[in-house]
Amino acid sequence: MTEHLQLISRQLHHLGRMERYLRYSYERVQPIVAALNWSLLSPEQHESLAAFRVRFSEFQEYLGKAMRAVAIEEEVEVERFGAALAFMEKMAILDSAEHWKLLCELRNAVKHEL
């Protein structure tokens, strides 16, 4: 296995671990988000939301790096990240490059809200 493929393998393993933590945070924030009364949240609820936001941001950033690494391995020009997204969409790894961009916008909006 090439060094680059070993890197991708390590990235995928790390993403699996990150995904478990993200799923845990997601389960904790479900009842909080359903309430939608941000002014009445306890400090613990704010902390749960913050943990989810951070884990989601880190997961998305790391996943982006892994997608770029896979595209490079497949000899796709990825100077622009949009090219990596388009390749992931073509390979049916992403439903839509536009959905990825919307998630980035949502992540950034939440980051500035909390």
Q: How many domains does the chain have?
A: 1
Rounded distance, CA 99 to CA 15, Å?
Answer: 19
Are 31 and 89 contacting, i.e. CB atoms less than 8 angstroms apart?
no
Give the mean model confidence (pLDDT) for residues 41-59. Answer: 90
Instruction: Please give the sequence-ordered ranges of beta strands (E in DSSP) within 2-87, or none if there are none.
Output: none
Q: Kindly state the average pLDDT of the residues 61-69.
A: 92
Q: What average pLDDT does range 27-32 have in this prediction?
A: 89
Residue 106's domain spans which residues? 3-113
Dump pLDDT digits (tens) for 81-94: 999 999 999 999 99
pTM of this structure: 0.81
Supply the angle between the helices 97-113 and 81-90 in degrees, to the nearest 10: 130
On whether the CB atoms of residues 17 and 10 are closer than 8 A, the answer is: no
Please determine, for residue 2, whether its predicted confidence score (pLDDT) is greater than 90. Answer: no
- On whether the CB atoms of residues 61 and 22 are closer than 8 A, the answer is no
pLDDT in tens, 94-112: 999 899 888 888 877 777 6
* Percentage helix, strand, coil for the chain under 3-state DSSP, each rounded to 5: 80, 0, 20
Whether the predicted pLDDT of 78 surpasses 70: yes
> Which residues 6+ apart lie within 8 Å of 8 measured at CB?
66, 69, 70, 73
